[in-house]
């Protein structure tokens, strides 16, 4: 039986932050402007540039609901798992602290879950939404990784690596997620497929950063993603979390 619609859903937004003092406040303010009931949880992954102190101030000012601090840098996946465990909303989404993704897209992305027709919604950077023109080979790499993931999951996603993955919290918190670093996107997609989740995909806008502006992903992360695609799809954990 499909889950019922969620007309009054609350969105938990997880903001992982590692040395994002330049943009973290702007992200929090943009999120607070949304016409949605929100819970905003920031996770400071042992930043060294004052991000932790800034996040604490934003929490005191009411722009953040909670700040979680990692005493040592554990990676984006670990930061997200800390945030997921603390989330209390009906739906959970990740918002990177660098403003590459526009929070204004979130109300539209919520609609399939609100209607009860989706368990997860992916915001695709490659379905025609407005975007900043940047690196050709980054786009090639993203398309290749999405293709490889689709071959294992039998999904027809156009953007597996997107940050904007909205997932019902009751489903997300029972998925066996273990990634500490950038393998998280691959792992979550594999686990949603294995759980039989109903996944929708909608276009979003995207304003990517250059490396001079602070972009952290490199070709090494792409190679690691290939390994994770094989690992998480061919060797799923056992247990009662699956729905099919």
114-167 confidence digits (pLDDT tens): 999 999 999 999 887 555 555 566 778 788 999 999 999 999 999 999 999 999
**Distance separating the N- and C-terminal Cα atoms of the chain:** 12
pLDDT over 50 at 1, yes or no: no
Helix 51-60 × helix 24-32 angle, to 10°? 30
For 110, other C-beta atoms within 10 Å of its C-beta total 20
Average confidence (pLDDT) over 193-216: 77
- The top-level CATH class assigned to 11-234 is alpha beta
Q: Is the dihedral of CA 6, 157, 102, 23 positive or negative?
A: positive
Q: What is the pLDDT of residues 74-90, one digit of tens each?
A: 999 999 999 999 999 99
Longest dimension (CA), the chain: 49
pLDDT over 60 at 196, yes or no: yes
The one-character DSSP state at 38 is E
Domain boundaries along the sequence of the chain: 11-234
Rounded CA gap, 115 and 125, in Å?
Answer: 23
């Amino acid at each position: 039986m499909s889950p019922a619609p969620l007309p009054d859903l609350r969105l938990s937004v997880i903001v992982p932050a590692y040395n994002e003092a330049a943009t973290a406040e702007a992200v929090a303010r943009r999120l607070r402007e949304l016409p949605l009931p929100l819970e905003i949880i920031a996770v400071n992954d042992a930043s060294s540039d004052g991000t932790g102190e800034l996040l604490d101030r934003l929490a005191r000012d009411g722009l953040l609901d909670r700040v979680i601090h990692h005493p040592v840098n554990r990676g984006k996946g670990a930061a997200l798992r800390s945030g997921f465990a603390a989330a209390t909303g009906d739906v959970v989404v990740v918002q990177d602290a660098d403003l590459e993704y526009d929070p204004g897209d979130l109300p539209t992305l919520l609609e399939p879950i609100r209607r009860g027709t989706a368990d997860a919604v992916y915001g695709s950077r490659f379905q025609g939404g407005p975007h900043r023109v940047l690196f050709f080979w980054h786009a090639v790499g993203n398309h290749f990784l999405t293709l490889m993931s689709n071959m294992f999951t039998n999904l027809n996603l156009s953007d597996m690596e997107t940050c904007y993955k909205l997932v019902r919290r009751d489903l997300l918190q029972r998925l066996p997620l273990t990634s500490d670093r950038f393998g998280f996107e691959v792992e979550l997609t594999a686990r949603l497929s294995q759980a039989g989740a109903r996944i929708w995909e909608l276009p979003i806008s995207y304003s990517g950063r250059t490396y001079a502006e602070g972009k952290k992903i490199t070709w090494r992360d792409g190679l690691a993603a290939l390994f994770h695609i094989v690992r998480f799809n061919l060797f799923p954990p056992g247990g009662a979390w699956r729905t099919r």
